[in-house]
A and B are shown apart, each in its own frame.
Chain A
Amino acid sequence: MQLAVQQEDADILLKEKNVLDESVLDKYRVSGQIAQTALQYIISLINDSYHLSKQETPLTVQELCILGDSFLSKLLSRVYNNVIREKGIAQPTTIEVNELIAGFAPEIDDEGAYTFTAGDVVTVSLGAQIDGYTSTVAHTIVIYPAGVEINNEVKPNGPLLGSKADAICATHIATETVVALLGLALSPEKLPAQLKVNGSAAVTGGQIRAVVDSIADSFNCVVLPGSKVRRVRRFLAGQAEGIVAERDFKGTVWDESHQEQKLLQKSTISSSTDLITSENNTSNNNTGTSTQNSSAIPTDDFVILAGEVYQVDIRMASLGEFEEAGLITTDEVDHFTGKNNKDEFNCKSTIHIRDFAITHHLKLKTSRRLLGEVDKRFSVYPFKLAYTCRSFPIKLESDNLAEQIAQIKQELKTNKLGLSELANRHLINSKPIQVTKFIPLDKILLTANPTGNRGIDMTKPVLPGMEVPLPNLGVSSLMLRGLLKHGKPVANVRESSTVLINNVGNEVIRLTGGSKTSTPSWVHSQYKLAGPYVEAIEQIVQLSKDKRFGIKVKECQPYKLSQTVGQAAESMQLD
């Protein structure tokens, strides 16, 4: 279905409103600050309960999620009141441990005991939007075993080693490099000679992919499907990817097909290079023609321009644990127990997003009320059921946190009924919870695939044009899903940051991430940055170090965490 939007209105919405003038910049900046502060808050909560053991019972993921969301709402309630129509949580707080990669934000009434153990890598991701100008952030931290006391301060015993550490190193370096590379869009003449294509200086999607892939390779890592460096526009921050396709998509996206291509490049058979080149040609041709029809299909042929905002979202996993060749894909977790005679992890997805293309007259009064509220309060951004409760957000300053949480649990029950009708009528879509799994290559090669690449896995959210995960082998996403029974879970690491390339002030504003909130945990990898782009990467990072060298990078500073909030979290006695 199409929504009727006049061309003039579309021009205003997509072009004029995305021009980075003073008010737009300020909205971006404030949303960045809020996201930064919330990230810092959640990390401090995790530290308090797992590292500094300030609480008797450590906070569970459910509690961390609702505290994070409440904190975000509280910060949002203080800014831009009565000035703009919409503001809110752009991405609910999700907390993913090890192999979980996306969408894990259990509701407070979930009874699973989701806590962390030493050696886990925990990814916290969240986002805020003000008037549709969105900042999202994700950062991975390490849970260390009990620390030692040095100078009256508890500190970790030693750095994290092994494959998880490799992934953290690679992801951190890749993110920093891409941020600096984006900044070079302001002064492309400073681009290292190695990265110039045919002598022309412009930052393109192909360069980003090449650089990130080479960093991943040198740390024996793989860039996971779902990673992307994409342009963000007002209300279009990738929150509905896989549900609503976006015209004029601009960004580099990684999926399984790129892993397949890398494996083909490794092959020692001489004809394999022809295979890749022929495939590249055909795919380029395809995309070339298809971009005319609709540029919703992502390609690497784009140039990063000053005056745009980008989301850098890089997820990596290490192959260090596996002897055999293979590729890493994502699997959707559902709530059906007892499949395959296995004791698998089950969980219901909790993050929902409205699909405005669908209308339906609802039967239940509760669902009608819920739909009205969803349309009004969350618009195109994802939400959790807890947000619709009257007791949300939790008042973090008060002492009766346990009571408030019990109240929310009560209110969730009534809303659940309405939610199921909305979901059944496809008025809302649930975002799947995904885990990363490693599939050995020989298992894929040995499978009979008589039907070819027909068969699309509907539960898997993919961007248009990326429906077939392994195009060279002709393996469909449904087939790949069947092969997941051979899959082994693999821990992943994610760093995400929103970067604004300000053409007016000639500076890069890093809205989220950076040295204040996303400092890497203490890790040691046995690998070192290598590959064809080492010098170029070092040069780029050097350029971004100081504005005198070339790129002026400003970071959004988080607000100071108030003492009262900290105390409330400390004195929280749940259960």
Chain B
Amino acid sequence: MASKNSINKPKIKISAHSHAKTLGKKRAARARKNPSSRSATERYSEKAGVAPRPTDSKAIALYTGEAPKPTGVVTNTTLSNKRAKKLARNQKYIDQRNSKTKTQEDAEMDIDEETAEEKQTRVEKVKAALWSVVENQTKGLYKVAVDGEGTTLGVQAF
């Protein structure tokens, strides 16, 4: 391609190119931001908030791990383009703020491991209780009472 300084530079071509580039960037950003489609996510993935496609089946007899979440809140209000942009921008800032506080909380959570300990003690409690069962069994505490009469079923025939 001709250089920027050349006399007969293709001015239109260059500007069109840069224009297309910016458009492409915007499109990519939008695609990244919007929720991914169902086909793009795995069946059992954690990201369960994927919007179901209209072609998704509403089969009842099949178990897929989770039922699709109720979607489709109907609204009549229309948004102007400007207002929509404003809302989106604000939402971006809110999300940023929220994620910041969340990471702080997470850091705090990591410091105390009480939940893990509690779990450990619970399993230990269960184990202690079951050991007592083992001991009592060897002592013969759980013998089922034998009845003198007993139970007879069936008749003398093959």
Listed in ascending order, the chain A residues whose CB lies under 8 Å from chain B are 1-7, 10, 13-14, 47, 51-52, 144, 147, 150, 154-156, 159, 168-169, 172, 217-220, 236, 244-248, 263-264, 266-269, 271-272, 275, 292-294, 296, 323-325, 357, 441-442, 445, 464, 472-474, 519-530
Contacts and interface: CB of A to CB of B under 8 A. Distances in A.
Contacts of A272: 125-126, 129, 132
Contact of B62 (A144, A154, A247, A524): A247
Contacts of A524: 150-153
A236 B63 CA distance: 13
Interface size band for B: 35 or more
Given A3-B57, A247-B63, A473-B126, A267 B152 contact: no
Interface stretch (B27-35, B84-92, B141-149): B141-149
Interface of B: 43, 55-67, 122-123, 125-134, 136-138, 142, 144-147, 149-158
A441 B133 contact: yes
Contacts of B122: 275
A472 B125 CA distance: 10
A10 B61 contact: yes
A14 B59 CA distance: 11
Contacts of A172: 153
Contact of B63 (A156, A267, A464, A473): A464
B60 A523 contact: no
Contacts of B155: 519, 522
Contacts of A268: 132, 136
Given A4-B59, A155-B156, A524-B152, 14 more contacts: A4-B55, A5-B58, A150-B156, A246-B63, A272-B125, A275-B125, A324-B134, A473-B126, A473-B130, A520-B153, A520-B154, A525-B150, A526-B146, A527-B145
B142 A526 contact: no
Contacts of B157: 155-156, 522
B64 A527 contact: no
B137 A2 contact: no
A10 B59 contact: yes
19 contacts: A5-B60, A154-B158, A155-B157, A156-B158, A159-B154, A169-B151, A247-B63, A266-B142, A271-B125, A271-B129, A292-B67, A324-B138, A325-B133, A445-B130, A473-B123, A473-B127, A473-B130, A523-B152, A527-B147
A387 to B, nearest CB: 25
A219 B154 contact: no
Contacts, number: 170
A268 B43 CA distance: 46
A528 B145 CA distance: 9
A244 B60 CA distance: 12
A441 B130 contact: yes
A155 B154 CA distance: 13
Contacts of A323: 137-138
B158 A144 contact: yes
B134 A445 contact: yes
A267 B150 contact: no
B58 A7 contact: yes
B150 A159 contact: no
Contact of B133 (A1, A263, A523, A525): A263
Contacts of B67: 292-294
A529 B61 contact: no
Nearest to A2: B57
Contacts of A275: 122, 125-126, 129
A226 B97 CA distance: 51
Nearest to A268: B132
Residue among B126, B127, B155 having the largest count of chain A Cβ atoms under 10 Å: B126
B57 A5 contact: yes
A247 B60 contact: yes
Contacts of B126: 264, 272, 275, 472-473
A245 B44 CA distance: 14
Contacts of B59: 2-5, 10
A528 B153 contact: no
A525 B153 CA distance: 9
Contacts of B137: 323-325, 441
A10 B142 CA distance: 51
B156 A527 contact: no
A441 B126 CA distance: 12
A287 B132 CA distance: 30
Contacts of A244: 62-63
A244 B130 CA distance: 35
A96 B54 CA distance: 49
Contacts of B150: 524-528
B137 to A, nearest CB: 4
A13 B61 contact: yes
A294 B144 contact: no
Contacts of A472: 123, 126
Contact of B144 (A150, A219, A519): A219
B113 to A, nearest CB: 15
Contact of B129 (A1, A169, A245, A269): A269
Contacts of B128: 269
Given A3-B62, A4-B59, A527 B130 contact: no
A2 B56 contact: yes
A442 B134 contact: yes
Contacts of A13: 61
